[in-house]
Amino acid sequence: DADVTQTPRNRITKTGKRIMLECSQTKGHDRMYWYRQDPGLGLRLIYYSFDVKDINKGEISDGYSVSRQAQAKFSLSLESAIPNQTALYFCATSDPGRGQGVETQYFGPGTRLLVL
Amino acid sequence: GQNIDQPTEMTATEGAIVQINCTYQTSGFNGLFWYQQHAGEAPTFLSYNVLDGLEEKGRFSSFLSRSKGYSYLLLKELQMKDSASYLCAVSGSARQLTFGSGTQLTVLP
């Protein structure tokens, strides 16, 4: 069983539509992240959450919103999708490392989004 | 802010050794990570360095010099399945990861 799951895995939508991407984890990690990946640009952080109800903006949060209602779930919304939000979206989780100061992030399988 | 540079592409031969370099400039440093990503798949964790020196994990080793803002990933006894993108990522003062654009490694027979 996958530790970090994302739904849907693929999504096609139209400009102006609202869509939600879901992330669930069974790793028991407090920290969760949403990234987008575009060819040649690497992974860029959209939002992150260190605990339930804790929300922090990342590098490219404009046009996105998130919700963290439970430890295991972190959802990403595009309120009004636009074509340049076409990308591969990854959710990730991490554990503060039990005081060791090293946090490894573990990624879900990704959601491929196409906005027409 | 943070800036991470790594080569865009590299090619090597099966059975050979390849070194992928990464240089970084960061405000605060809490570790450097290497991830492997096959096309269309999730990045998977390979290794991390917090202190200067070499960390070895089987065919993979990673080196860090904090004073030079430099790391490399060394892959030995290359196999065809090692063809992938290799991502260098730095954990900064807020413990968020900033990723480089990735190095696409092609292993030829």
Predicted pLDDT of residue A97: 62
The predicted-structure confidence for B15-27, as pLDDT tens digits, reads as follows 999 999 999 998 8
- Whether residue A99 is predicted with pLDDT greater than 60 in this model: the reply is no
Q: A84, exposed or middle or buried, with CB in 10 Å at 0-12, 13-18, 19+?
A: exposed
Digit-coded pLDDT (tens) for B54-68: 999 899 999 999 999
Length of chain A counted residue by residue: 116
- pLDDT value at A116 more than 90: yes
CA atoms within 13 A on the CB side of B97: 30
Asked if A39 is an interface residue toward chain B (Cβ–Cβ < 8 A), one would say no
Picking from B93, B95, B98, B101 by the largest number of A CB atoms within 10 A of its own CB, the best residue to mutate is B95
Per-residue confidence (pLDDT) for residue A100, from 0 to 100: 55
**Residue numbers in B near A103 (CB within 8 A):** 30-31, 91, 95
Instruction: Give A23-51 pLDDT, tens digit per residue.
Output: 999 999 999 999 999 987 789 999 999 99
